[in-house]
Amino acid sequence: MSELETAAHPEQLCRVAIDPLSRVEGHGKVTLLADRNHHIRQARLHIVEFRGFEKFIQGRPYWEVPVAVQRLCGICPVSHNLAAAKAVDQLIGVEQLPPAAEKIRRLMHYGQTLQSHAVHFFHLASPDFLFDFDNPVAQRNIGGVMADYPDIARQGVRLRKYGQEVIRITAGKRVHGTGTVPGGVNKALTLRERNYLLTDLELMTQWGRNILKLMKKAYEASPGYFTRFAAIQSNYLSLVRADGALDLYHGGLRVKNDQGDLLFDHLDYRRYSQVIREQVKSWSYMKFPFINSLGPEKGWYRVGPLARINNCDFIPTPVAEEERREFMALNNGQPIHATLAYHWARMIELLYATEAIRELLLDPDIFGDELVTRGEMTREGIGVIEAPRGTLFHHYRIDEDGLIEKANLIVSTTNNNQAMNESIRQVAENYLDGKELTEPLLNQIEVAVRAYDPCLSCATHALGQMPLIVELVEEESGAMMDCLVRDADGKVRESFVEF
């Protein structure tokens, strides 16, 4: 771990806080501890994670959980729904869903992936690529993209809508649907619904390719920046299919180290608690998961699109596979560590989602009428899924009456917790150390965090206009030395308000 995490004499340091991070869903805060010469010695991302759910669900009937758990997150409710549904399948003793049920759930999941990736890239992240850091903040948001790249912005909106339609048709509603039931789903697709979803699909794949072209252009424009920005060496964790293919719905756990060596592979995720531990740190509400055998220092890992593309042997659809090969060639097939590569990997997945949806829509199984199955009740269920932001663990234990006794969730953003801190530290080290704090520099920290697409308190979409406060506090005396405020309208002002 970098030596920056805990400074030797924190009492002599100034504190710089960026709060909240703009364009990150929810609310976050970055503390940079600087010494008197403005040297950044410590960097910490504070996240208020919503942990209330585990308590809230206690004493509730297990069959209610997949629908109730969707309230955890307004951004990827389907992922929580499906992870919980997979756990509930185990509770009722179901190992294998009927083909129709599994395929409809997959369809739902790929719809969610498409929708979530589209929102992240087009609404939140594309300004990071399309505009220079010197551009005014007021332009570096979706409004700016709309004005300068109207086609891209429109395609983003349509891709998102398409993903939402897939969700609506499979789950019944665009948010908080009820499509999954214990051991299956409650509805198959009709021919009409299938044909409706097929109508625009070619176009979606085409747009996915176009985005990747744009991505590659952005890369070629400054490969050095792209490769080095907030780059960190890490382990990677994801699910992979039994044959090593990328699979977002189901598979075994695979972990590669930074050299690309397999640490373990095809591990039954029901054994996750034997290989993953969570560390608690006094300064953060969010836990820090790590690979048990490596320990907390070396065992932290990254999840999400970059981890999945680094980890899988191939993508089972042709167009996305072509893109994967091109991407992996950047580092001769070795894992790619560039944090900005998350965006690229995410768009490969968006493309893959369009192809996967197509395959599923053309599969006659989705019209099947065997939608539910049941087995012998058990007391423990663990569901794991590759949510848009990364591996998501849902673990439930029920009492003999079927009420939830205990729940444990490891959400994607928690899995990336240590990695986000490492990336911020890296940015702080390379870009902020020894300089006066300026708005573009602070933006770079946000850009680093945003690459991971964290869902902080999982609440709102802050589309680039969130207020931002930067304080420079001398920790020893608590005196405010400087304070920079970015208001909701994007205007930046100096403030000397006493705190």
Partner 1 sequence: MSGEPSFTLDGQQIPFQEGQTVMQAALEAGVYIPHLCFNPEFTPHGSCRVCLVKVNNRMQAACTTPAAGGQTVQSETEELREIRRGILQMLFVEGNHVCPACEKSGACQLQAVAYYVGMLAPHFKHFYPRRPVDASHPDAVIDFNRCIMCELCVRASRDVDGKNIFAVEGRGIQAHLVVNTPSGQLGATGFSLHDKAAQVCPTGSILTKHRGYDIPIGQRLYDRKPINVVGDVAQLPDSQGGRRHD
Distance, in Å, from the CA atom of 178 to the CA atom of 162, rounded to the nearest integer, reads 19
Closest CA to 447 of 472, 426, 469: 426
* Residue 270 within binding range of partner 1, rule CB under 8 A: no
* Residue 153 within binding range of partner 1, rule CB under 8 A: no
Nearer to partner 1, 70 or 234 (CB): 70
The number of residues that bind partner 1 (CB under 8 A) is 26
* Residue 187 within binding range of partner 1, rule CB under 8 A: yes
DSSP 29-43: EEEEEE-TT--EEEE
Near partner 1 by CB under 8 A: residue from 18, 21, 24, 67: 67
Burial 92-114 (b: 16+ CB within 10 A, else e): bebeebbebbbbbbbbbbbbbbb
Q: Quick one: which segment of 47-55, 247-255, 397-405, 489-497 binds partner 1 (CB under 8 A)?
A: 397-405
Using the 8-state DSSP alphabet, how is residue 335 labeled? P
Distance, in Å, from the CA atom of 131 to the CA atom of 136, rounded to the nearest integer, reads 9
Near partner 1 by CB under 8 A: residue from 182, 289, 299, 335: 182
Nearer to partner 1, 57 or 263 (CB): 57
Near partner 1 by CB under 8 A: residue from 403, 459, 463, 480: 403
Nearer to partner 1, 220 or 401 (CB): 401
* Residue 370 within binding range of partner 1, rule CB under 8 A: no
Peptide bond into 454 cis (omega under 30): no
Containing H/E element for 101? helix 99-118
* Residue 73 within binding range of partner 1, rule CB under 8 A: no
Near partner 1 by CB under 8 A: residue from 26, 28, 98, 179: 179
Nearer to partner 1, 102 or 278 (CB): 102
DSSP 174-214: SSS---EETTEES----HHHHHHHHHTHHHHHHHHHHHHHH
Near partner 1 by CB under 8 A: residue from 101, 181, 387, 445: 181
Binding residues among 155-174 for partner 1 as defined by CB under 8 A? 171-173
Distance, in Å, from the CA atom of 118 to the CA atom of 305, rounded to the nearest integer, reads 13
The Cβ of residue 379 has, within 10 Å, a number of other Cβ atoms equal to: 14
CB of 181 to partner 1, least distance (A): 5
* Residue 78 within binding range of partner 1, rule CB under 8 A: no
Distance, in Å, from the CA atom of 181 to the CA atom of 60, rounded to the nearest integer, reads 16
* Residue 409 within binding range of partner 1, rule CB under 8 A: no
* Residue 490 within binding range of partner 1, rule CB under 8 A: no
* Residue 64 within binding range of partner 1, rule CB under 8 A: yes
* Residue 373 within binding range of partner 1, rule CB under 8 A: no
Q: Is 59 left (phi over 0), alpha (psi -120 to 50) or beta?
A: left
Near partner 1 by CB under 8 A: residue from 12, 35, 54, 63: 63
Residue pair 394/383 in contact (Cβ under 8 Å)? The answer is yes
* Residue 60 within binding range of partner 1, rule CB under 8 A: yes
Nearer to partner 1, 7 or 188 (CB): 188
User: H helices of 259-340, where?
Assistant: 272-275, 295-298, 305-311, 318-328
The Cβ of residue 457 has, within 10 Å, a number of other Cβ atoms equal to: 16
Nearer to partner 1, 14 or 407 (CB): 407
CB of 403 to partner 1, least distance (A): 5
Residues forming beta bridges with residue 255, ordered by sequence position: 237, 264
* Residue 401 within binding range of partner 1, rule CB under 8 A: yes
Distance, in Å, from the CA atom of 47 to the CA atom of 240, rounded to the nearest integer, reads 29
Nearer to partner 1, 92 or 307 (CB): 92
Closest CA to 77 of 119, 40, 45: 119
CB of 60 to partner 1, least distance (A): 7
CB of 110 to partner 1, least distance (A): 20
CB of 177 to partner 1, least distance (A): 7
CB of 362 to partner 1, least distance (A): 23
Nearer to partner 1, 67 or 353 (CB): 67
Using the 8-state DSSP alphabet, how is residue 229 labeled? T
**Which residues of this protein are in contact with partner 1, per CB under 8 A?**
59-61, 63-64, 66-68, 70-71, 92, 171-173, 176-179, 181-182, 186-187, 372, 401-403
